[in-house]
Structure 1
Amino acid sequence: MTEHGSFYRKIIYLVLIAVLLFPISQLGAPATTEDEGGRLAQLRDEYDLGQSDYGDIDPASETIRLATLGLRGVAVSMLWTKANEYKKKEDWTNFQATLEQLAKLQPYFIKFWQYQAWNLTYNVSVELDDVRDRFHYVKRGIGFLKKGITYNRDSPYLLSDLGWFIGNKIGRADERKDYRRLFKADPDFHPADRPLEQRDNWLVSRGWYETSVSAVDDKKKSLGQKNPTTFYANPGRSQINYSEAIETEGVFGEKAKSAWATAARMWKDFGNRDLKSSMGFNIRLSGVERLTEESKELEKRLGELSRTGREDALAAKRAALTAEQRAVLDGPETGLTDEQRDMRYEAQQLMRIEPADIADQIVKKSPEKVAEARRLAKKISAIRNRIRLTKNNSDVVNYEYWATRCRLEQTPEALKARDLSYAGRKVFKEDADLLEAKRLYEDSFVQWAKVLEAFPELPLDSVTGSDIMEYIEQYSTVLQQLDMSLVDEEVGRDFPLWRLVEANDNSREYEEGIRKYLGREEPPRDAAPSGVAPDETPDKTPTDEPPSNGDVEEEADEPVAGETGEEVTEDSE
């Protein structure tokens, strides 16, 4: 009986297996050119889950990974070690061969492509002496990154990095003059039908950045931990860099104006774009003014609920201070100890009035207004948080400055000023005509003064200020050759940019002229900063500004994509 039962069970199992083969074949049938396949194949195609959806499939890569028999991790570790050894020995041939082997084993590992492309482009290229050899490895690094994109199609990370390498490595390196020329002439970087004027590295960089943006917007690829603000700023910044670059090379007039007009349009579009914040709502960098007006209107309505709401809130907060805190807050700012300065700062923070504080005082006097007061206070706080977050993200990309700069550079005065400054330098360097160079520089300064007067919102110590200061230093060199100085009466009295010099004279080279022509008094030796008593340091003040990103170093040991990795956030709304 037991023997027959076992036999029957086996028959039942075989029948069930045969029955299940049909739905399994229907679900798992592979797609072909004539048939879309089973349900699983259709789902893979619909949601881009198939291996081919990541990018190209390399048969050699698949074979090598299968041949490792489950020891791929060990093989990868050994190859990484070998690559680092070859790099230390400067054995670039074997180093690159090892990278090719690693690429077969890790074709879908994004960080591998980023890191090793950075190695080739930045760290290997600088070890060579000849500029063509350096460019060769810059080109190899860019090509390596392009190969990574074939395996990881539409990766915003790799596409953005490619834009960064082509733009910043070629356009910012010390060898940028040669790199930009070699890049334009190299057919490997350009399709055959691309016009020569479109082969500028910054324009090609902009194209790759726009492709990375399209991958996110149109193909719904994830940005991951990238800050949307810096990511979406990249195309506009590349156009700005292109506009700067052609003027540096002596291209002015309508072509420069058109380049800056395009940059202004792109930057404006960027400012009007909805950017996802880490707090879940969208922000617009161009929307600060509108939000500020909305906040003021709501604050006015809150104040109308009680004329003494703010004063009552201040009185309540002051009453909550200790006697020591009130004393140090009311006392003179000078002569404080470190402990007293900390206490004063703490008291100042405690005295800050928030909309909720005003609402609390309104509720005490007029309970019937509780709902309206709370609603307005909550809305004001939310808008203030939105403004703070928007400003922080705006500061990360210096949005307001570049918006102003794009408008400024299109003016006839700015175009003429740059043309004259360039001509002055060229006459001095190539023709050694000192008097003509002096005249051209002086004419350019007249135009720059008009520009700065027309754009008072532009900080004097901005990038533009640094550019003009460089022209002034070149002018000073010309004057020295003529046995003259910017401080001389016949020169300094008509010089229109002393205030800009004052804002940018970090080396105090022009201190005498600043005192003479701006009427500044000479500060005593070891004097404290302006507005601060000698025995006092400035009070600490809270700031909503993020830390400065700083400029990316030209060479480094780690890959940098030129972007802030984390998003600027606020703690609460």
Structure 2
Amino acid sequence: MNSNNSFFRKMVYLLVLMMIAVPIVWLGRPSSPGDQGGKLAQQRTEARLGQADLGAIDPASETIRLATLGLRGIAVTMLWNAANNYKKTEDWTAFQSTLEQLARLQPYFVKVWQYQAWNLSYNVSVELDNVRDRFYYVKQGIEYLMDGIGYNRDHPRLLDDLGWFTGNKVGRADEHEIYRKLYKLDEDLNPNDDPTLRDNWLASKHWYEQAVDAVDQKGQSLSTMNPTTFFDSPARSQISYAEAIEEEGIFGETAKRAWREGARLWKEYGEREMKSTDDFMIRLVDENKWKLESARLRNELDALDPGIEAKMKEEAQGQLTADQRRVWESLPATPTPDEQKWHSEAMATMDVSVAKIAARIAKDHPENAAKAQSLATRIDEANRRANLIGSNRDVANYEYWRIRCNLEQTSEALKARDLAHQAENRFAEGDPEGAMGLYEQSFVEWGKSLDQFPEMPRDSTTGGDLMEFIEDYAAVLEQLDLSLEDEEVANRFALWELLEINDQQRKFAGAIEAHKARQAGMPVPKREESESNSLINPAEAVPQ
């Protein structure tokens, strides 16, 4: 009997196992050509979780991971520690070899590629003295990211980092002039020999566009990246390209096309719908639209009971105590704790918000209660959208770059930069008089260009750029025993307003005071010899 029971139990177990195996096989059946496979395989394909969907499949990587016999975590920890030790001891060969092993063990862990690429391009490169050696490790970091993208196809974070390394590390380092030349000549970084990508800024724009396309077209997630600073990157690289070629002496139609393309991309960026922190979609160009909508709705609300806001403010003012009224009308420069308290109370009492107005209309005119509450809600929504768009525009400095791209395309601005570049070369060749005339012509052209864009803040980045030209001009004047304080020179100078606003270090305080005195018909303060001579060190003024 016991023997029969044992046999029966075994048969039941076998039957249960067969019943469990059927759905497992059905769910886990792998896909093959012409067959989507089981449910798990289909969902893996839809979510792009398969290795082939993530990126390249490396047999060597798989072999190494299998060889760890389940101890991959321990192996990875040991390799990270070894990499950090090699970095501290500046054993760059062993460091790079260790990074390769880490990449083989964790090819789909994005942070590996990010962290170690940054180490190579930013941390290791600065430890070397020779500029070509430094560029070699900058290049290694860029190529490391490219390898990471091979394993993590269409990953927006890695593509965005690649755009940053290619653009900012190559184009903004202290050695950027040499780096840009080395980048153009490097065949490893330009395997397709595309002339439009041999410039690091255009290559940077290309990678940023790939990152944007991964989000827009391929459904990749932005994760924690800020949409405002993510989507503006292609336009910023194009703008940086325009700045770079002008710095290198390329002007005319080529520079104009570069700025025109920057303006186009910046306009597209402003018109793009982006998810906001409040989860609704915004466009940077819509700030004024929502402000106008708020004003229109407010007029509708006021029309339900004309004069209600003024009436409520008058009533609120009547509720203030004598102390509250005093500090509300004029808060002392250094208020006491009591005065601060009274001021806060007065401000709260005098705050006649849209919600309060709607509630008052609902109380005084019950027939308009629903409409008043609806209008108040819509006004708050419009204000919230306008304020959120405004804060995002500030983050991107949207308005400045919109104006800047248009200003730089003008014939006057193009000519002004060309003249300043010629002046710099003329001074380096030992012709200060020729350089002085070219700088003065440049300033006249800059004045004409800025007059076309009065909305451009004079204390913006453009003002800072022009201050560099003015300081170079001052060095030229110093060589000729002249100064901006001299009346003859001052009369030819065309950027006094901009100079006064941007002279934060007061290098030209004496010249500005003298100019103001002449404008007012007053005696010009005497120029102190020591002060004028301290403006520019003659040794520093000699071209190197």
- Normalising by the residue count of structure 2, what TM-score does the alignment of the two structures yield? 0.91
Q: 1:25 corresponds to which residue? A: 25
Question: Residues 27 and 341 of structure 1: is their aligned pair in 2 closer, same or farther, counting only changes over 3 Å?
Answer: closer
1:364, 1:257 → 2: CA distance? 62
Secondary structure of 1:493's match?
helix
Inter-partner Cα distance in structure 2 for 1:66 and 1:239: 45
Partner of 1:153: 153
Which has the higher mean CA deviation after the structures are superposed, 59-68 or 270-279?
59-68
Contact 1:184/1:201 (8 A) holds in 2: yes
**Residue in 2 aligned with 1:407?**
406
Deviation at residue 77 of structure 1 after TM alignment? 1.8
Give the deviation of 1:153 after TM superposition: 1.2
Counterpart of 1:224 in structure 2 is 223
CA distance in 2, matches of 1:499, 1:169: 35
Letter of the structure 1 residue corresponding to residue 233 of structure 2: N
Q: Say how many residue pairs are matched.
A: 520
Query: Aligned with 1:254: secondary structure?
Result: helix
Tell me, what secondary structure is at the counterpart of 1:264?
A: helix
Q: Distance in 2 between matches of 1:322 and 1:22?
A: 83
Measure how far apart 1:327 and its partner are. 1.7
Question: How do 1:165-180 and structure 2 match up within 5 A?
Answer: 165-180=165-180
Q: 1:252 to 1:338 in 2, by over 3 A?
A: farther
> 1:476 maps to which residue?
474
Aligned partner letter, 2:329: D
Change (3 A) 1:349 1:469: farther
C-alpha distance in 1 between matches for 2:245 and 2:116: 31
What do the CA deviations read for 1:3-54 (whole angstroms, capped 9, x no partner)? 3132123223324444554554343232334644333323322331212221
Amino acid at match of 2:207: W
Aligned twin of 1:512: 510
**Equivalent residue, structure 2, for 1:299:** 298
Aligned to 2:535: none
Aligned match of 2:538:
none
Could you say which residue in structure 1 is the equivalent of 2:245?
Answer: 246
Contact 2:474–2:483 (Cα < 8 Å) also in 1? yes
Aligned match of 2:312: 313
Task: Check whether the contact 2:155–2:214 (CA below 8 A) recurs between aligned residues.
Answer: yes
Q: Work out the CA distance in 1 between the residues paired with 2:451 and 2:74.
A: 66
Structure 1: 5+ residue runs without aligned partners?
A: 523-573
- CA drift at 1:241: 0.6
Deviations 1:340-391 (A, max 9, x none): 4675467446534421122233234323221222111111111111111101
Separation of aligned partners in 1, 2:374 and 2:18: 68
Q: Supply the AA of the counterpart residue of 1:86.
A: Y
1:305 to 1:233, Cα distance in 2 relative to 1, 3 A: same
Task: Look up the equivalent residue of 2:465 and give its one-letter code.
Answer: D
**CA distance 1:341–1:445, shift in 2 (3 Å):** farther
Deviation at 1:110, TM superposition (A): 1.4
Please say if residues 440 and 492 of structure 2, whose CA atoms lie closer than 8 Å, have aligned partners that are also in contact: no
Distance 1:491 1:344 in 2: 53
Kept after mapping to 1: 8 A contact 2:440/2:494? no
Counterpart of 1:122 in structure 2: which amino acid? Answer: Y
The Cα of 1:428 is off from its aligned counterpart by 0.8
- Select the structure that is richer in helix: 2
8 Å Cα contact 1:313-1:357 kept in structure 2: no
Deviations 1:323-342 (A, max 9, x none): 43322122364564576467
- Decide whether aligned partners of structure 1 residues 346 and 194 sit closer, same or farther in structure 2, where only a CA change above 3 A counts: farther
- Relative distance call for 1:338 and 1:479 in structure 2 (3 A) is farther
Could you tell me which amino acid in structure 2 is paired with residue 451 of structure 1? S
How far the C-alpha of 1:141 sits from its partner, in A, is 0.7
Query: For residue 492 of structure 1, what is the aligned residue in structure 2?
Result: 490
Q: 2:439 aligns with which of 421, 438, 441?
A: 441
- Matched residues in 2 for 1:358 and 1:121: separation? 59
CA distance in 1, matches of 2:342, 2:415: 54
| Residue equivalent to 2:11 | 11
CA–CA separation in structure 2 for the residues paired with 1:517 and 1:346: 49
The CA deviation at 1:272 is 0.4
* Letter of the structure 2 residue corresponding to residue 37 of structure 1: G
Query: Residue in 1 aligned with 2:461?
Result: 463
Distance in 1 between residues matched to 2:91 and 2:316, nearest whole Å:
69
> C-alpha distance in 1, partners of 2:253/2:185?
25
Measure the CA separation in 1 of the matches of 2:61 and 2:163.
Answer: 27
Q: Are the equivalent residues in 1 in contact too, given 2:190–2:197 (CA < 8 A)?
A: no
1:144-193 CA-partner distances (Å, limit 9, x unpaired): 11111111111111010000000000000000000000000111111334
The residue aligned with 1:385 is: 384
SS of corresponding position for 2:501: helix
Q: Distance in 2 between matches of 1:423 and 1:286?
A: 38
**1:547 aligns to what?**
none
Mapped contact 2:331–2:343 kept (Cα < 8 A) = no
Q: Please tell me the residue identity of whatever aligns with 1:185.
A: L
Query: 2:267 aligns to what?
Result: 268
User: Could you tell me how far apart the structure 1 residues matched to 2:485 and 2:419 are?
Assistant: 22
Aligned residue in 2 for 1:258: 257
Question: Could you say which residue in structure 2 is the equivalent of 1:69?
Answer: 69
Question: 2:506, 2:344 → 1: CA distance?
Answer: 33
For 1:18-417, list aligned pairs within 5 A. 18=18, 21-33=21-33, 35-195=35-195, 197-319=196-318, 321-331=320-330, 333-334=332-333, 336-337=335-336, 340=339, 344=343, 347-348=346-347, 351-417=350-416
Q: Is the 8 A contact 1:260 1:410 kept in 2?
A: yes
Q: Deviations over 1:423-481 (max 9, x none)?
A: 1111111x221111111111111111111111111111111111111111111111111
- Contact 1:312–1:361 (CA<8 Å) still a contact in 2? no
Q: Pick closer, same or farther for the CA change 1:189–1:343 going to 2, 3 Å.
A: farther
Q: 1:333 to 1:494 in 2, by over 3 A?
A: farther
Q: Secondary structure at the match of 1:503?
A: helix
Partners of 1:274 and 1:220 in 2: CA distance: 15
Deviations for 1:126-153, whole angstroms, at most 9, x for unmatched residues? 1101111000000111111111111111
Measured in 1, the distance between the counterparts of 2:126 and 2:298 equals 58
Structure 1 distance, partners of 2:399, 2:102, is: 44
State the one-letter code of the partner of 1:102: L
Q: Which residue does the alignment assign to 1:541?
A: none
Structure 2 Cα separation of the partners of residues 193 and 119 of structure 1: 28
* Contact 2:235 2:266 survives alignment (8 Å): yes
Describe the shift of the 1:69–1:312 C-alpha distance in structure 2 as closer, same or farther (beyond 3 A).
farther
The alignment partner of 1:507 has SS state of coil
**SS, match of residue 188 in structure 1:** coil
Aligned partners of 1:309 and 1:359 also within 8 Å: no
Distance 2:232 2:84 in 1: 35
Change (3 A) 1:318 1:4: farther
Partner SS, residue 232 of structure 2: helix
Counterpart-to-counterpart distance in 1, 2:467 and 2:319: 51
The equivalent of 1:558 in structure 2 is none
Provide the residue aligned with 2:532 in structure 1: none
Q: Is the 8 Å Cα contact of residues 230 and 397 (structure 1) preserved in structure 2?
A: yes
Partners of 2:192 and 2:367 in 1: how far apart?
Answer: 76
Asked if 2 retains the 8 angstrom alpha-carbon contact of 1:216 and 1:223, the reply is yes
Determine the C-alpha separation between the residues in 2 that align with 1:391 and 1:344.
Answer: 29
String of CA shifts for 1:285-340, please: whole Å, max 9, x gaps. Answer: 01111111111111222222222222133234445555433221223645645764
Counterparts of 1:317 and 1:134, CA distance in 2 = 68
Identical columns (%): 53
Change (3 A) 1:472 1:224: same
For residues 346 and 277 of structure 1, what CA distance do their matches in structure 2 show? 34
Provide closer, same or farther for how the CA distance between residues 125 and 379 of structure 1 changes in structure 2, counting only shifts above 3 A.
same
The answer as to whether partners of 2:205 and 2:234 remain within 8 angstroms in 1 is: yes
Asked if the contact 1:498–1:518 (Cα under 8 Å) also holds between the matched residues in 2, the reply is no
Distance in 1, Cα, partners of 2:306 & 2:26: 76
